[in-house]
Amino acid sequence: MKTALPPIPVERASGSRLFLSDGRVLVDGIASWWTACHGYNHVHIANALRRQIEIMPHVMFGGLVHEPALNLARRLAQLLPGDLDRVFFSDSGSVAVEVAMKMAIQYWLNRGERRRTRIVAFHGAYHGDTFGTMAVCDPVEGMHALFRGVLPEQIVTALPQSEETVLAFENLMAREAGSIAAILVEPLVQGAGGMLFHDASVLATLREIATRYGCLLIFDEIFTGFGRSGAMFACIGAGVTPDIVTLSKALTGGTLALAATIASSSVFEGFWSDEADHALMHGPTFMANPLACAAANASLDLFETEPRLAQVAAIESGLKEGLAPSRGRPGIADVRVLGAIGVVELEKIRDLEALRARFVGKNVWIRPFGKIVYLTPALSIDKEDLRLLTTAVCEVAAEEGQRLS
């Protein structure tokens, strides 16, 4: 905290641009941690918020209900595959994952299987910063190593991507299946853990093994949801349906905090009982906040009326072309692109703060971390702004790589 550069004052934001108090303008390459999928201050979302705030900004969701939440739940269920049609709202991604984990464990408790209390997660994972989610993040490379020994003990292992790791995962499941409630994974891309990609066959393997050993499969789509990986949801693109999925980030188009944990009908049935203690007892104060639900509904309108997924395909092409000059350069370990995600991985970044300042000097807002420089722009970004971002990444990465060689 002492060595970080002071935060940069922003006066307003529009489209893919941040307007600073000193008159400078930065092209935002990460869309406020990929939340502003339609760009900043889209008029349709802004108008929906104005209408809703005049009617009802908030009302508790305990014993009461309202149309913005009902409409949003219906629409999400229609968009998701299979029978993922039971929606539980909360107010942040970390809480959505906490709810998914709690839901998975209680599902088995309600069935009288009291040993199934552990979650399997994977190296490279990031699922949040609360105590429950810290326990399923990468224990070595992640940001939570300080809390080792304090956190609940979960199982974190290698993704089954090779013959060796598939066999190891099979052995783990055969040995521990009776204690495992669910397998938790970020589908196709492990985001904040390093923008690590894996293909759909990994998810198919997880689905088959989860089904065979009778445990639940949870997809954390907080990063990949809403077009970021190329399809509306990564589970659709991969052709693999989980038992529970978590959503947040771009759910409201980057305007308000809202999250959802969406379960299959069969999981829901595990809670539908005359027994009071079978209910899922979790009640965030601002769950299903009407204002946030109105923003999310407006965001879904834009996915229906504006060509977002076609724009993602165009961004993918632009990222591949624009980042190609970095491939094979000194100090560059890898260049990878999927959907509206572009990554240049360096062998090392010596000074993150200095690198971030160099990007600001090129009039772009990019926040490298670990060894990677990444782009997750608004899905509505224009070609010129995207080119400005990729050019800046290639130039700065080349300079950094040259210093390392």
The answer for residues whose C-beta is within 8 angstroms of residue 255's C-beta and 6 or more apart is 45, 49, 292, 295
Backbone φ/ψ region at 194: left (φ over 0), alpha (ψ -120 to 50), beta? left
For residues 358 and 348, give the distance between their C-alpha atoms in angstroms, rounded to a whole number: 16
Percent of the chain at pLDDT > 70 equals 100
What are the distances in angstroms from CA 122 to CA 104, 159, 191, 248, 368? Answer: 17, 6, 12, 20, 22
Residue 182 tokens read as 């669910």
Does pLDDT of 142 surpass 80? no
Q: pLDDT at position 184, please?
A: 98
Coil, helix or strand for 284? coil
Nearest to 241 by CA among 111, 85, 69: 85
Does pLDDT of 174 surpass 90? yes
Output the CA angle 44-311-367, nearest 5 degrees. 85
Average the pLDDT over 89-94 and give the result: 97
In sequence order, which ranges of 284-347 are alpha helices (DSSP H)?
290-305, 308-323
Q: pLDDT at position 146, please?
A: 81
Coil, helix or strand for 17? strand
Q: pLDDT at position 203, please?
A: 98
Average the pLDDT over 247-257 and give the result: 97
- Model confidence over 351-402: pLDDT tens digits? 999 999 999 999 999 999 999 999 999 999 999 999 999 999 999 999 998 8
Give the pLDDT band (50/70/90) at residue 147.
confident
Average the pLDDT over 319-327 and give the result: 98
Higher pLDDT, 146 or 59: 59
Task: Say if pTM beats, i.e. exceeds, 0.85.
Answer: yes
CB distance 182 to 216 below 8 Å: yes
In sequence order, which ranges of 214-307 are alpha helices (DSSP H)?
234-238, 265-269, 290-305
Does pLDDT of 143 surpass 80? no
Q: Residue 171 burial by CB count (10 A; 0-12/13-18/19+): exposed, middle or buried?
A: exposed
Output the DSSP codes for 39-60.
-BT-HHHHHHHHHHHHH-S---
β-bridge pairing 341-346 and 372-375: antiparallel
Give the pLDDT band (50/70/90) at residue 144.
confident
Does pLDDT of 1 surpass 80? no
For residues 394 and 80, give the distance between their C-alpha atoms in angstroms, rounded to a whole number: 37
Ranges in the chain annotated CATH 3.90.1150.10: 10-38+307-404
Does pLDDT of 151 surpass 90? no
For residues 267 and 104, give the distance between their C-alpha atoms in angstroms, rounded to a whole number: 8
Ranges in the chain annotated CATH 3.40.640.10: 44-305
- Model confidence over 21-31: pLDDT tens digits? 999 999 999 99
Average the pLDDT over 5-27 and give the result: 97
- Model confidence over 264-316: pLDDT tens digits? 999 999 999 998 889 999 989 999 999 999 999 999 999 999 999 999 999 99
Output the DSSP codes for 105-157.
HHHHHHTT-TT--EEEEETT----SSHHHHTTS-TTTSS-GGGTTTS---EEE
Give the pLDDT band (50/70/90) at residue 403.
confident
Q: pLDDT at position 150, please?
A: 86
Q: pLDDT at position 140, please?
A: 79
Please give the distance of CA 182 from its chain centroid, rounded to a whole number. 19
Superfamily of domain 10-38+307-404: Aspartate Aminotransferase, domain 1 (3.90.1150.10)
CATH number attached to the domain at 44-305: 3.40.640.10
Does pLDDT of 202 surpass 80? yes
Residue 251 tokens read as 């759910």
Residue type, 401: G
Average pLDDT, the chain: 96
Residue 172: how many CB atoms within 10 A of its CB?
Answer: 17
Does pLDDT of 94 surpass 90? yes
Average the pLDDT over 112-137 and give the result: 95
β-bridge pairing 25-28 and 364-365: parallel
Q: pLDDT at position 2, please?
A: 81
Nearest to 390 by CA among 358, 337, 342, 346: 342
